[in-house]
Amino acid sequence: MITTSETHSTSIVEAQSRSGVSWAAIFAGAAGAAALSLILVLLGIGLGFSAVSPWVGDGMSAKGLGISTIVWLALTQIIASGLGGYLAGRLRVKWASVHGDEVYFRDTAHGFLAWAVATLVTATLVVGSVSSIVAGGVQAGAQVAAGAAGGVTAAATAASGSQGSDPYGYFVDTLFRGDGTVTVNEDAAQVAVTRIMARALSNGGQLSGEDRQYLAQLVSQRTNLAPAQAEQRVDQVFAQARQAVDDAKKAAREAADAASKAAALSALWMFIALLCGAFFASLAATYGGRRRDAVVLVDDYVSAQVR
């Protein structure tokens, strides 16, 4: 005959040998959290598109849209992770003969694991597109910053079609320069001036004395200005071109800095939102676990009433 003490000992041995992880409850909570997170993200995308406008001055501003996105992501993490943690705690098995502190730890771990599985599943589905967008933005910013020095000169040479197709055109032009009056036609003069300006702007923004004198001769020939006035116009126009290049560099640096700061802030707030999700998942799991332990089976309740 099996005594009560032997039955109690057997129950303790079984409780000690049983795993403390209810993977079925964890995966159920993770599935619920991932599904609800997807629904809330789609809802946020729809609300975001409805709030913005393609017309300047209409709709939500960029700053307001960024703040709203951060708040919505945080709420999405809190709500979805809370639901997943509650399901993981409520659906896990009841641990008999286990101390209350151990039950509290296991419930917290179940909520955290449910959040972790849901986050990994969501990251697997979303991280590809997100990383491509971020990488594309960083690469574009780097290209803009790297190509800012030659942005204006590239536009000018592209319009003339000379520098890109004939990289040695500048040196060829110098072969036919003379000390006398410049006798070139209008098209050849524009091509030559474009090559000289492009080379000077791409080489530190300094115009050599020979190039300056040659440009002054071309200007004097076509505008009937005095040589001194032609040189003054050359200096003035070249200074304007150099200022345009400097402005392009400055704008590119500012755009790159703004993109870098925006990416850093986005990553920081995403980190905070994920931490909030982990916390609320663990907290909701402990609450769900307590509700699970408070459940009284029908058979036990009937037996207690009969007695």
Report yes or no: 156 and 268 within 8 Å, Cβ to Cβ. Answer: no
Quick one: three-class SS letters along 239-301?
HHHHHHHHHHHHHHHHHHHHHHHHHHHHHHHHHHHHHHHHHHHHHHHHHHHHHHHCCCCHHHH
Helix (H) or strand (E) holding 41: helix 23-51
Place of tokens 């006798």: 183
DSSP 183: -
Residue 92, φ and ψ in degrees, nearest 5: -75, 165
The identity of residue 166, as a single letter, is D
Maximum alpha-carbon separation in the chain: 128
Report yes or no: 234 and 212 within 8 Å, Cβ to Cβ. Answer: yes
CA proximity to 203, closest of 231, 163, 172: 163
pLDDT of residue 81: 94
Distance from C-alpha of 274 to C-alpha of 133, rounded to nearest angstrom: 20
pLDDT of residue 28: 94
pLDDT of residue 209: 80
pTM metric for this prediction = 0.62
Residue 214, φ and ψ in degrees, nearest 5: -65, -45
Cα-Cα-Cα-Cα dihedral sign, residues 222, 226, 228, 229: negative
Low-confidence ranges of the chain (pLDDT < 50): 1-2, 15, 133, 144-145, 148-164
Distance from C-alpha of 293 to C-alpha of 113, rounded to nearest angstrom: 20
Distance from C-alpha of 303 to C-alpha of 262, rounded to nearest angstrom: 64
pLDDT of residue 159: 39
Report yes or no: 248 and 240 within 8 Å, Cβ to Cβ. Answer: no
Domain boundaries along the sequence of the chain: 22-145+270-291, 151-251
